[in-house]
Structure 1
Amino acid sequence: LVMLAMAESLTSGEIVPGDLEFTALATRMVAQGLTVLRDVAESA
């Protein structure tokens, strides 16, 4: 859902490609997602 919301924001022009805030947020989201995947893999 987050990726869909980001795609819609980019399409509408609400977020412009290269926006520093957006880039920082995307980086944190990827890191969090990788952490969740690692935790799930370790608990399996």
Structure 2
Amino acid sequence: MCSSIEYCLLSQQSIFNDYYNTKISIFFTKKGLMKRILM
């Protein structure tokens, strides 16, 4: 699976960051759309 523990943690961290950033950007996009509709 993983050659070293550090590498394993780093790859997991980057996958988590990608997932988290996507969720945040989708959340803000939805908020932006809601604001535009309400304005």
Quick check: TM above 0.5?
Answer: yes
The structural deviation recorded for 1:40 is: 0.2
TM superposition outliers: structure 1 runs of 4+ over 4 Å:
none
Tell me, which stretches of 5 or more residues in structure 2 are unaligned? 1-9
Percent identity of equivalent pairs: 3
For this pair of structures, how many residues does the alignment match?
A: 29
Which of the pair has more CA radius of gyration?
Answer: 2
TM-score normalised by L of structure 1: 0.59
Give me the CA root mean square deviation. 2.3
TM-score normalised by L of structure 2: 0.66
Could you report, residue by residue, the CA deviation over 1:5-40 in whole angstroms, capped at 9, with x for unpaired residues?
A: xxxxxxxxxx88x80000000000000000000000
